[in-house]
Chain A
Amino acid sequence: MFLGISAYFHDSSVALIDSNGDLIDFKKEEYLSRVKGDKSFPRLALTEIIKNHNLSDKNINKICFYEKPLKAWLTILKYSIKNNSLSNELTRNYFKNIWKSSVIFSYDLSKHLKISNDKILYCDHHLSHTLSGAYYNSKLPAVSIVIDGFGDESTSSIHHLTSLQEIKHKWSSPFPNSVGLFYSAITDFLGFSVNEGEYKVMGLAAYGEPIFYQSLSKTIYFKDGKLHLDDNYYDFMRSITRSYSSKLSSLFNINERQSNTPLDLESPDFKAYANIAASAQKIVEEILKEIFLFANKITGENRFIFSGGVAMNSVAINKLSKLDFISKLIVSPSPGDSGAAIGAAYYGFLQFNKNYFEPLKADIPSMLTPGHTSLTDHNEDFFLINYEKIANEDEIIDVASDLIIQNEIIATCYKNIETGPRALGHRSMICNAHSVIAVKQLNEQIKKRSKFRPVAPAILERNAKKYFLLSDKIYDSYFYMGAVVEVVNSKSIEAVVHNDNTSRIQLCREDNILGKILKKLELNNIFVLANTSFNISSDPMVYSKEDAYLGIERMNIKYLLTENGIYTKKLIKS
């Protein structure tokens, strides 16, 4: 067994790969701690995986951490000492918080798992990302592009994969020249939370014009094989509280948005902020094109693996897929730091099995929801105090379809949770996408999202081409990551079409839960479901049945679908 762990920086997680190389479990710490984006050592996730799979020193072959802890800590510290000062707040913060950083990984691990030291490995941060993408890739050679905020010593990397045992580092960009941190600074400027609100910027961009593109492109650009960032406009390299400088405000000629004021289509400054988002989005897309082209030039490869936080920018991925020199673009279901735990576990597997050179024939659908479904998780007695069961296990599809036809909204907590940030039906809230009213109720009243945020459609694979323009180059992504596609027929599905005539599509096979419901709904001319994640914005995705129970109460949802049946709140007789 091979464990991979990511922690201390973004969403902590644990991945487990068995001796065949199959991903058999994956848990984010936030699922169990219920703290969104929890970056603490994943003690709850690790404990649960150890318990569910009876892990011990005897059956664990390797346990791998997703970065080189001291290298990551030293890089920023040395930069800050050199460019700021010893009394600078970033320098001081790095020193004072060493005990909260990954440097203490082995100490934290020892509190939860007794394991021989020679079984503990450390994988380069960007290599963990590369391997998390390579895990879902079926063919080599390929080139891997990693672009995130920062990892170990670089902010972007190009790796050349000739075999799984030969991965050459070809290029990297040092801190602070970072596309990820640039996008986060814009996110911060627009009043959204860093590391969480980036996808809001992406959605907002569709409503603006890139009028600041020229001026913004002078602050960050890729030239002669180097990524340049003008630190006069950004503060993340010297401050722990502010990621942009006043010079950036002057460039936009508008103050940063105060995050306590709602930003909606009717807001007076909506267009101005949308223009900033559109400009930043264009910068990212153009820089990515340049880096991908550069990677193609230095490696000669046209099969690309893309990972790191920036690989979650699905609008940019759609644009990249249109480039001629790219024949295939592989993005894993969880390309960010939490998914890097899968890469770390894979690294442990490959270090132990030096005879594996070719990609494993990974069964991707089964690996989208790995884990251990515990029957004891569901305490039905507790649930039935306030709820009644309206469908048994074998009636789920029929009853769910009937409810969708009646434009009802259903929350799902079905078997294991998905690996990536996108809810694929196991932890979703779904409704009829052909009904503008139902989608509006789901998006604005239940989920309380801003109107400028798109709602994603889910559709059976065989019906997708009737509505959407699909690309073979990123075809796999449509099944698990909400890839962006142009809409060719928006008639009757306007509610799930974004302002720029695109959708964040999810293709469904007939054997998964949403696929089964969609198959049944076809008989009633419903071909598309609106699907959004089952959580309140400040909370992580619902994980256990008890979280689901709490979730439907807090969000006032009428129906909950689980693998045991469908439940609804009891009517209280007056």
Chain B
Amino acid sequence: MIITPHNNSNLYKTLVEFGYAEYGSALEMLAASKKAQSAKMKLRYRNHALDEYRHSALIFQVLNNELKKNKSFFEKEFKFTPQNVVSKGYVDKNGFLIEKLSLKKFVEFVYSSEFLAKQSFEVLIKRIKNSESLEILNEIAQDEEKHAHGALEQHADFSTSKLNEIMNEEDRHWGFAKIFYNKKFPDSNLNFAFKKEKIKNKMRLFYFKNLIFLNKIFNPIINFFIRIFGYIAMLLKPTSNDDKDLMKMNSTSIL
């Protein structure tokens, strides 16, 4: 779901996407918390949701800092609009993952997406070029070894750096998912699920990267349909309400 910023012009957009992805993840975790039966699981998902809400806010804060430092114009698309989490596809309007997937698939997804998010995040922070970021990068570099193992205890001492803090928590999330999965489904292969999700992610990335090219193909087709249906639409005449008793008008008509 994340577009990694391969050049600086993509950086702001990537931060925005990352911010929405974290918010979407918060909503998913909250839904999972509500669905969970045991108090312990509820608490675990709720804590995960709390982290993701905070990450989202922090990422938009980082975006703001970057814009100010680079004296860039604040585009409207950079503004956090909650409904975009649905329109951008970070939450499916047809159901939360916990409603649609089996517990096994749900944990596989959480593990894979958290791990992929962590990887994308590592790329993302390397693109932020300013002294504060360099400091953050240094701190992250020191923590890299610890992160690789994803052990929970190692992350008790959170860095004061915001981005580093997020990084630690992402590690903790996929770490949780992995521990839970291995305990609950010892015969299944989590790596296979992860690779599947990685391929899907690459395909999404391919789609985004080629959007301009795809538009070149599809726009003439859309234009053709607009022309045809536009003329038909102009011929349709909805019933006028003027001076009518509205309670007596056709109540089953959609026009």
Contact = CB atoms under 8 A, between A and B. Distances in A.
Contacts of A172: 241-242
Interface of B: 27, 30, 33-34, 39, 42-43, 46, 49-50, 53-54, 64, 67-68, 73-74, 76, 78-83, 85-86, 91, 93-95, 222-223, 225-227, 229-230, 233-234, 236, 238, 241-247, 249, 251-255
B81 A193 contact: yes
B92 to A, nearest CB: 10
Given A34-B27, A35-B85, A121-B252, A259 B74 contact: yes
B177 to A, nearest CB: 20
B83 A38 contact: yes
Interface residues of A, number: 72
A304 to B, nearest CB: 18
Instruction: Kindly name the residue among A35, A103, A124, A159 whose own CB sees the greatest number of chain B CB atoms within 10 A.
Output: A35
Interface string A381-398: 110011000000000000
A245 B141 CA distance: 48
Contacts of B67: 260
Instruction: Kindly name the residue among B39, B234, B246, B251 whose own CB sees the greatest number of chain A CB atoms within 10 A.
Output: B246
Contact of B233 (A77, A120, A381, A549): A77
Contacts of A74: 233, 236, 238, 255
A33 B34 CA distance: 12
A69 B254 CA distance: 5
Contact of B246 (A37, A81, A124, A549): A124
B34 A127 contact: no
Contacts of A120: 252
A116 to B, nearest CB: 12
B43 A37 contact: no
Contact of B27 (A35, A124, A242): A35
Contact of B30 (A34, A96, A538): A34
A33 B91 CA distance: 10
Contact of A95 (B53, B86, B222, B252): B222
Instruction: Kindly name the residue among A103, A120, A123, A382 whose own CB sees the greatest number of chain B CB atoms within 10 A.
Output: A382
Given A168-B243, A379-B39, 5 more contacts: A33-B86, A381-B39, A386-B43, A538-B82, A550-B46
A266 B225 CA distance: 53
A384 to B, nearest CB: 8
B255 A68 contact: yes
Contacts of B254: 68-71, 103, 122
Nearest to A553: B50
B82 A539 contact: yes
Contacts of A259: 74, 76, 79
A165 interface: yes
Interface stretch (A86-94, A268-276, A323-331, A521-529): A86-94
Contacts of A382: 39, 42-43
Contacts of B253: 68, 122
A385 B45 CA distance: 14
A121 B252 CA distance: 5
Given A35-B27, A172-B241, A544-B34, A165 B236 contact: no
A166 B43 CA distance: 55
Nearest to B81: A193
A75 to B, nearest CB: 7
Contacts of A241: 76
Contact of A86 (B74, B82, B230, B244): B230
A168 B244 contact: yes
Nearest to B238: A71
A544 B30 CA distance: 11
A77 B42 CA distance: 47
A39 interface: yes
A148 interface: no
B39 A43 contact: no
Contacts of B94: 43
16 contacts: A36-B82, A38-B86, A40-B93, A43-B94, A70-B238, A71-B254, A86-B226, A87-B226, A92-B222, A260-B64, A382-B43, A385-B39, A538-B82, A546-B34, A550-B46, A553-B50
A350 interface: yes
A123 B74 contact: no
